[in-house]
Amino acid sequence: MDYIKEFEELLSNSTKEANEASTLEELANVRIKYLSKKGLISVMINKIREVEDKKAFGEAFKNCKDSLEAILNSKQEVFQKAKINEELLKEKIDITLNGRDFHEGNINPFFKIIREIEDIFIGMGYTIEDGPEVEKDHYNFELLNIPSDHPARDMQDSFYIDETTLLRTHTSPVQARVMEKNQNKPVKIICPGKVFRRDDDDMTHSHQFAQVEGLVIDKNINMGNLKATLELFVKKMFGEKREIRLRSSYFPFTEPSVEVDISCMNCNGKGCSMCKGTGWIEILGAGMVNPKVLEMSGYDSNVYSGFAFGIGIERVAMLRYGIDDIRRFYQNDIRFLNSFVKKVED
């Protein structure tokens, strides 16, 4: 039968071309030439209608097609293995070379202090609140009893984006937002976060730093509650031997206001260079929430009262670890971080 001879000739020619192919691309061209939809072998199926013994023709067509596919697949596998071996030789690893040492990094003491402060206050029943760092003047100043003509604004020289928007100068706007949302409901929160003020970039000041501010509002809250809270915080943070001292001060959003000192941990209150001979170190500001602030946020100041406090995170970390320069927290110096291998609780 002529078609048998034609199949044998097609298989012979395609096998020869497959064996002569030296690359995967050339092999793919042979596959396309003979086995694609319009390939020389594939189109042979159209002749089945011209023969009498269709079964024999179909078997011959299948044998020719399957034989060429097997040859092409075998050749392709050889090429692929050769390519993989070539790549492996190029990427060969010299196992006699010294390996790379991977060291576990140390946590910046800044973040250790934040976590410990949060743990202390969560243990006292506080919740953590967050707010935007780009803030409206209304929340950053107005609702905190600092109107546009108030001299207290000079104490917080600010980065303004436009006339009504600025980088927050403290985390107190979070307190204002929480009070506005929870009118005439008890509040017990801390709000840690970054704040921004134009300042001299020296050893103890930075244009960016972090605070943890706290706010408690409920019925019958008084100065004794504030003192007890801060006393507990100080003892947990700096040790059971530490004492606190409240000094009268002024903040627009609290009345009365106090500066809070702790007994010097270096000399135990006897007087040294660290505490400048006084025996005390200032660590935070606090006070009873100004009734006007409560009223502006929707609280009835005849029913509700509260206290607020603000703690500088870097300030606490510098005292806790004896760090002399606030800029060290932000320089990502591995030598500095490696100095704090112990956990805070150690």
The residues near 188 (Cβ < 8 Å, ≥ 6 apart) are 125, 126, 127, 215, 216, 217, 218
Backbone angles phi, psi at 36, to 5 degrees: -65, 175
Q: Which residue has the tokens 């011959």?
A: 60
Phi-psi region of 332 (alpha: psi -120 to 50; beta: other; left: phi over 0): left
Contact 18, 27 (CB under 8 A): yes
Distance in angstroms (rounded) separating the CA atoms of residues 237 and 112: 12
pTM: 0.65
Handedness of CA 159, 163, 166, 171 (dihedral sign): positive
User: What string of pLDDT tens digits covers the 346 residues of the chain?
Assistant: 577 888 888 888 888 888 888 888 888 898 898 888 888 888 888 888 887 788 888 888 888 888 989 999 998 998 889 888 888 888 777 777 777 777 777 788 888 899 999 999 999 999 999 999 999 999 998 999 888 777 766 666 678 888 889 999 899 999 999 999 998 899 999 999 999 877 655 555 667 888 999 999 999 999 999 999 999 999 999 989 899 999 999 998 999 999 999 998 888 878 888 888 889 999 999 999 999 999 999 999 999 999 999 999 988 988 888 887 787 888 878 888 887 764 444 4
